[in-house]
Structure 1
Amino acid sequence: MKFIGIDIAKSTFVTAYPLPTGGYRTKTYPNDPKGVALFMKSFSQEGHHCVLEATGNYGMLLLYMLCKAGIAVSQVNPKQIKHFARMMMTVTKTDDVDAKLISLYGEKMCPPVYRFPAESLLILKQKKVIARQLRKQLVALSNLKESLQALPIKDKASLKSLDKTLRFLKARIEEIDADIADVASSAFEQQIASLTSVKGIGISLATSLVISTGGFSQFETSKQLARFVGIYPSYQQSGSSINIRGKISRNGDSNLRSLLYIASWSAIRYNETCKEAYERLKARGKPSKVALVAVANKLLRQAFAICKSNSRYVDGYKSTLNKNANSSCFLT
């Protein structure tokens, strides 16, 4: 298998083809449908595997066309390539060098084949991003209004314009949130129903979980999911002098972690297993925030188990799933 490394930019992408005699041949293509089509004609589908970094929206067209054509492609975390480059002691950073490194990474690590998400999931992600940006604007303008009201002389026209913009943003956010709920309930009806059956998980968190995880289709175990969300505790051990159980990794979606943390407040009141876990940790002297983060982790695992088993939540039920699968609803 030959791995083709691809370095994505806004207008172009650089490819690195491994040569039979060693080394690489690089070529630059336009990052548009014609450029991607030209790239796909430059190699045979059999025996080739494309590898690229996750670069947000700029790499989605290439991913989409490669997956649609049935060409094996992998999308890797840029941090993995960054640390791989450090391991190789690379001192030069150019688009060509990056493409070669990505190709070498694919050869050494054999990353899994990327599964392109459903169309409804892409639509939901776009709506979620827009709603998040509008909320940021709403907070910024609300703070601006408060600061202007502290002035001794106020411009009524400016405040009126600000109020009009704030009303518009609130209306647009409500409209987009309703659209997200409608699309999610229609495309992922079974999963949304299963998730909202868990005590502590509402429609907002359920929708965010489906959008961020691709309907849980990209994960085999709950540990993988917890690491992806960034709510998994870090651990350091070396010899007899270092044995540290550190903070959560915080690598994933900060908004999803916030929703899980807020949901833990309700879970410790109404979710029997989460309540027991919280009380047990508090009895051991753990701070309330640490215990709540642990409950958020447990809530995430419950959601994973419910969706993977395609069932509804039963409070107090003890899972009979294989412990090695790490998909138990209730951790001890």
Structure 2
Amino acid sequence: MNAEQFVGIDVSKATLDGAVEPQGQVWQVAYDAKGIDQLVLQLQEIGPTLIVIEATGGLETQIASALAGKGLPVAVVNPRQVRDFAKASGRLAKTDRVDAGVLAAFARAIRPQARPLKDADTRALDDLVDRRRQLIGIRVQEVLRLKGATTKPLQTSLKKHIAWLDKQIDQNDRDLTRRLRESDAWRAKDDLLKSIPGVGSVTIVTLLAKCPELGTLNRREIAALVGVAPMANDSGQYRGKRFIWGGRSEVRAVLYMATISAIRCNAVIRAFAERLKNAGKPPKVVIVACMRKLLTIMNAMLKNNTPWQPQNT
């Protein structure tokens, strides 16, 4: 069929609800191997221009991977964007079938970019990075509880749990390092990024797991993807302050810590920060600008497969 067709798929634990724009066709299949195969065949016959699925905490991975594996154009989008679109278009009701229709309309109107999905190795690395963050979060909570513990049994229990968490974090870090070093592609990227003063192993594994597009986009695209590109806030003669918004918060968090370190020990980033300070820029603006510069440097290094060269940055 020559006419453009846009598909929205609403994912739940048991079912997959689909809708096609502008035809208005809807369907539902079970979210199991048989249902996925049936849906893939159906969509191959349609030949959609774009398929949109909401990110649902990993529940969407199986169907998105199956569709992308067959060469179908899939975009996994932020649920907040879809909900805002639904409200703006007056679609306030919420059922699985309605949501599928909203996703199809979103695909037709917005046309989000279909990006390559993470492969199995990248998803496994992503899971390890998530688990490390969870373990550290639990450890912080237990340390705070230990500070307020007043009885011996509670202190003993908390200390045992903290010691166990330390072992789990160490094991997680070893697993992350092993995965990086076992892959030729990741090892090469790890070696390149490690040469940048201020960039440590946690920053590297988080970037590789959470931002696999690093090294494939231009400097504006990668800054917008991570969320370090200032957004304009102008109207008529009014010129408002620029703010960063959206992007990948987990990547931005580790990039912030790497930038704080780089401002101290990386001559290029330190000199850039000093120029901004001397120009009267506020501290937060300086840090965000340095985050963007550090990110674009890493992006260029991976894109061109070149090591750290401070004289060329």
TM-score by length of 1: 0.85
- Partner Cα distance (1:72, 1:265) in 2: 39
For residues 55-103 of structure 1, the C-alpha deviation after alignment (integer angstroms, 9 at most, x for no partner) is 2210001011112233332222223322322332223222212111211
The 5 A counterparts of 1:288-299 are 288-299=283-294
Number of positions where the alignment pairs a residue of Structure 1 with one of Structure 2? 307
- Partner Cα distance (2:231, 2:43) in 1: 42
- Partner Cα distance (1:289, 1:43) in 2: 48
Aligned to 2:235: 238
Are 2:270 and 1:275 equivalent residues in the alignment?
Answer: yes
CA contact (8 A) 1:191 1:215 kept: no
Structure 1 stretch displaced more, 170-179 or 271-280: 271-280
TM-superposed CA distance for 1:245, in Å, is: 2.7
The 5 A counterparts of 1:228-267 are 228-240=225-237, 242-249=238-245, 251-267=246-262
Aligned to 1:316: 311
Match of 1:180 among 172, 176, 179: 176
Q: Per the alignment, in what secondary structure is the counterpart of residue 247 of structure 1?
A: coil
For residues 122-157 of structure 1, the C-alpha deviation after alignment (integer angstroms, 9 at most, x for no partner) is 1100111111111111111111111113xxxx1x33
TM-superposed CA distance for 1:45, in Å, is: 4.0
TM-superposed CA distance for 1:171, in Å, is: 0.4
Cα RMSD of the aligned pairs, angstroms, is 2.1
TM-superposed CA distance for 1:23, in Å, is: 4.9
Are 2:11 and 1:14 equivalent residues in the alignment?
Answer: no
Q: Per the alignment, in what secondary structure is the counterpart of residue 235 of structure 1?
A: coil
Aligned to 1:322: none
- Partner Cα distance (1:182, 1:257) in 2: 24
For residues 36-64 of structure 1, the C-alpha deviation after alignment (integer angstroms, 9 at most, x for no partner) is 12222334346224221222210001011
Q: Which runs of 5 or more residues in structure 2 are unaligned?
A: none
- Change in 2 beyond 3 A, CA 1:235/1:127: same
Letter in 2 for 1:163: K
TM-superposed CA distance for 1:244, in Å, is: 1.4
Aligned to 2:59: 58
- Partner Cα distance (1:134, 1:164) in 2: 15
Aligned to 1:44: 44
Letter in 2 for 1:282: K
- Partner Cα distance (1:314, 1:260) in 2: 20
TM-superposed CA distance for 1:215, in Å, is: 5.2
Letter in 1 for 2:95: T
- Change in 2 beyond 3 A, CA 1:72/1:264: closer
CA contact (8 A) 1:32 1:61 kept: no
- Partner Cα distance (1:111, 1:262) in 2: 30
Letter in 2 for 1:232: A
Q: Which runs of 5 or more residues in structure 1 are unaligned?
A: 318-329
Aligned to 2:97: 96
For residues 241-276 of structure 1, the C-alpha deviation after alignment (integer angstroms, 9 at most, x for no partner) is x21132322x23334323222222332233232122
Match of 2:7 among 4, 9, 15: 4
Aligned to 1:189: 187
Task: Tell me the percent identity.
Answer: 28
Q: Per the alignment, in what secondary structure is the counterpart of residue 64 of structure 1?
A: helix
- Partner Cα distance (1:265, 1:139) in 2: 21
- Change in 2 beyond 3 A, CA 1:76/1:254: closer
